[in-house]
Chain A
Amino acid sequence: MTENFFIYLLVIAGVTYLVRMLPMVLVKKKITNTFIRSFLYYVPYAVLGVMTVPAIFYSTSYLASAIVGFIVACVLAYFEKSLLTVAASACGAVLVCELIIKYVIA
């Protein structure tokens, strides 16, 4: 078992729940402050961007396969394919790429 696991679990689940629960239970009026609304609008995209690049390039066994997977994901996402399609195609591209690296090139 991971050290202090249950304390970590309490923190991660507690914060996540409070952030969702408190506004739904307490706030009845809409947020009107433009800065806060705009800030909250950008946050998810900025977070996902930081979490994806550069981490995505280290998410597979080879840098080359990760780059191919990333490009495939970007192209499909640009054409607004579903989350499932984009994620699965990126995985497929990585798999094909690594099979080539392993059995054809090496």
Chain B
Amino acid sequence: MKEENSFIRGIKDGIPICLGYLSVSFAFGIFSVENGLAIWEALLISMTCVTSAGQLAGVPIIATGGSFIELAATQLIINLRYSLMSVSLSQKLGKSVKMADRFLISFVNTDEVFAVSSGKEESVGKKYMFGLILTPYLGWSTGTLLGAVAGNILPAIVISALGIAIYGMFVAIVIPAAKRERSVALCVCVAIALGCAFTYVPVINRLSSGFVIIICSVAASALFAVLSPLPPENSTEEVENND
């Protein structure tokens, strides 16, 4: 099997991802500072996690002094999808990728990096992957820093408008998938309905946000994994979804 192994082409393929990350991590930076984190704390979180949804769910837990178990469980559930992507990507890696390289590549195996590398015809080599993860990583870190700093400078009305950015991105991921697959649309509706119950119904609304995310998404996903399972393996390429 041919192998794509150009560092420069990796960098180029990473640029669109980088631009998208700049805007989203900018919003994350603002969000973190608004929640009470220091600028360097927000930056360190982005540089060590490189995951939008996980970080967004994690920051309120950290800022309010939530339990470590809650934080760990939230991250496990929200990021569980990466396990599937890592399994899938591991079969796509070419011969030039040694065991040690996998420790680095998996660190920045985000939804978009995964989507781009699995879209390649050939297998992907070490240099290509290093290029592909470099630009998005820089975009993610830089954007966070800029957002965290700008959060202290920008006028309140602009901060308010930017507050919706990350959610806008989530909408942009969910709606197209929901449009194509009825089961995805229904699953999302069930998850949201459960989430709203945990937000507005007395007594159960005391549960913290991290656990609400876990309970609702696990329940809805398990329900639809039973009601509407994927077709058996090897009939389809199950490489979908981007963050």
Contact = CB atoms under 8 A, between A and B. Distances in A.
Interface of A: 1-5, 7-9, 11-13, 15-17, 19-25, 27-28, 30-32, 34-56, 59-62, 65-66, 69-70, 73-74, 76-78, 80-92, 94-95, 98-99, 102
A11 B167 contact: no
B176 A77 contact: yes
B75 interface: yes
A99 B107 CA distance: 42
Given A20-B86, A40-B83, A50 B241 contact: no
B150 interface: no
27 contacts: A2-B41, A2-B62, A8-B61, A12-B54, A15-B71, A20-B85, A20-B107, A24-B102, A30-B87, A30-B91, A32-B233, A34-B229, A34-B230, A37-B84, A45-B173, A46-B217, A50-B191, A51-B167, A51-B170, A54-B200, A60-B163, A77-B175, A78-B176, A87-B165, A88-B168, A90-B165, A94-B160
Contacts of B37: 2
B199 interface: yes
Interface residues of B, number: 110
Contact of B20 (A25, A34, A84): A84
Contact of B216 (A4, A5, A46, A98): A46
Contacts of A84: 19-20, 23
Contacts of A31: 84, 87
B165 A91 contact: yes
B217 A47 contact: yes
Contact of B230 (A5, A37, A70): A37
B75 A81 contact: no
Contact of B23 (A22, A36, A87): A87
Interface of B: 19-20, 23-24, 27, 36-38, 41, 44-45, 48-51, 53-58, 61-63, 65, 68, 71-72, 75-91, 99, 102-103, 105-107, 109, 111, 156-158, 160-179, 183-184, 187-192, 194-196, 199-200, 212-213, 216-218, 220-222, 224-226, 228-230, 232-233, 238, 240-243
The 9 closest A-B pairs by CB, nearest first: A90-B168, A77-B175, A13-B48, A86-B172, A38-B225, A87-B168, A42-B221, A49-B188, A46-B217
Nearest to A8: B62
A90 to B, nearest CB: 4
A16 B79 contact: yes
A37 B226 CA distance: 11
Contacts of B45: 9, 12-13
Contacts of B166: 87
